[in-house]
Structure 1
């Protein structure tokens, strides 16, 4: 089978290797589509760890960092009865980068990491399903705190996660959703995703938006940018909860004026419950992952895909191995 391997920063090869064999509790999948996880791909391809301080060595693990995929069951290992050959599934969990990834024609997954999807599902539109699960568990947290339904919500950072977040907030009954991003293309996509309004943080009027304690401030905010300035602005404009979804690489400063009533929530555990939550909303039409897939191309065009991600000409790229 063909599999991508990053040999060194900026260099990759498509190798020919034997397909993996599923063990007990595992499933062999033919990968129908796999999408980039932009920050993972850009960091690993550039020789930078995704998380500060984590050791990084090359050649990188076969098929990695590909972990968002849709596939078709080829065969099952011992003890698997819930899946059958020919069935379409999505991978809801990143198995880790110590095992072969999904930038390959075939991959082995633990059965419990898969959820069934319709036979007529378009693979490239379902491939980002793992990200939908990641966002869903954060929406579920805010729902448990009764800070979504009927509330005014802001989403800062309108990349793939932000656009999923907007759609899920609409499904969850938010009274209003505002999208914040300096990129005009992404602001337009946010309106397509269901945002009531979009805001350019580089516009001078941004500084005059209502602050905490003032009429018209946000009840809840989701940070999908990971930028300290964006997080600071979200905290100053939000009365109750700021959910820090994006990977944090720099300190966020909680200033004295924020004391009293504001909750901060960091990354939430990834769960099958979150995966089923996302799948239900896709099946009922509330969540459309095709909105975040900008390009479809063969795996051999990996370098071109990275360039599109870096220039923000693409949100995600889907590969057909």
Structure 2
């Protein structure tokens, strides 16, 4: 098998390794596509060259090529997605219980289960309902995915917020009703309206992973509203705006540490994909071969106007 592994800061190498064999409760998957995730950026930037090589990639979709003797739900040839690791490779061993089928007629690169399962699980803990006012702060991959997922609940208004005009324009095609840069938000949206009626939001979904985005999200949420922090705030401290406390805001930690909840959310989102109610097609913008993993991370880091989501495939090229 071929596998890309991180050997130093911003430096990966493709290694040739023996093909792995699945344990009794595992399956061996030919990786047809693996998404590049911002949660791995810190590791890619900072990996210690004196440490053992690090194998990244956890957004896997592929074809079953071997089955453990207890993994009886699956047969060779099944297209699957789920929770796994070491996905920047031609083959990956995955737990049979952490897999779900790729919807019929959907290409694997448009059927990653893990990233939208994370978004859906977080969204399920926010009271988005028909007629509610929803704001999504940060219109990268996560924010655009949240727009699609939230739209199906028929909110009265969905606001998208991002400093990048190209991202704002893209958000309008993905479900946002109105879009603004953070410094151009109407006064009534952030509670500084004076004589104008308060128009802050029932639910605010933060998808930036940076402190300024968190601050903007906090200003948008109404008294007794909900702020869901879904962006990847990797390390260090983030300021708690005490105005949230005085407003009686419910702050939700959008991270889910429980595999059972994530798999349940994945089943929901894969069904949405099957029904064409969610689509990766406008989100997957860049594709890479195994020897281009560093370029994939570099493109995600700079996040140019045409970049939303990168996908690595051992069969590309």
Q: What's the TM-score once normalised by structure 1's chain length?
A: 0.87
Q: Which of 242, 245, 252 is residue 255 of structure 1 equivalent to?
A: 242
Q: Give the one of 283, 298, 301 matched to 1:307.
A: 298
2:214 matches 1:231: yes
Of residues 116, 121, 139, the one that matches 2:123 is: 139
Structure 1 residues 88-111: Cα deviation after superposition (integer angstroms, max 9, x where no partner)? 0112x3x4xxxx510000000001
Q: Residues 5 and 201 of structure 1: is their aligned pair in 2 closer, same or farther, counting only changes over 3 Å?
A: same
CA separation of 1:90 and 1:57: change in aligned 2, threshold 3 A: farther
SS at match of 1:252: coil
Name the SS of the counterpart of 2:124 in structure 1.
helix
2:60 alignment partner, SS class: strand
State the shift of 1:148 in Å.
3.1
Once the two structures are TM-superposed, the CA of residue 241 in structure 1 deviates from its matched residue by: 0.2
| Structure-1 separation of matches of 2:181 and 2:123 | 24
Contact residue 79 and residue 102 of structure 2 kept, 8 A: yes
Q: Deviations over 1:73-95 (max 9, x none)?
A: 1111021221111010112x3x4
Q: State the SS of the aligned residue for 2:205.
A: strand
How far off its partner does 1:208 sit?
5.8
Q: Does 1:242 align with 2:236?
A: no
Q: 2:310 aligns with which of 296, 308, 317?
A: 317
Does 2:258 align with 1:273? Answer: no
Output the CA distance in 1 between the equivalents of 2:243 and 2:280.
40
Q: How many residues are aligned here?
A: 301
* Gap regions ≥5 residues in structure 2: none
Tell me what 2:67 maps to. 76
Q: Which of 193, 204, 209 is the aligned partner of 2:189?
A: 209
1:44 maps to 43
User: In 2 relative to 1, CA 268–6 (structure 1 residues): closer, same or farther, beyond 3 Å?
Assistant: closer
RMSD: 2.1
Work out the CA distance in 2 between the residues paired with 1:200 and 1:58: 42
Residue of 132, 135, 140 corresponding to 1:159: 140
Q: Sort the Cα spacing of 1:38 and 1:111 in 2 relative to 1 into closer, same or farther, 3 A.
A: same
Supply the distance in 2 between the matched residues of 1:263 and 1:245 (Cα, whole angstroms). Answer: 14
Say which of 194, 201, 222 aligns to 2:205: 222
How does the TM-score come out when normalised to structure 2?
0.88
3-state SS of 1:294 partner: strand
Gaps of 5+ in 1: 49-54
Which of the numbers 167, 175, 189 marks the counterpart of 1:186? Answer: 167
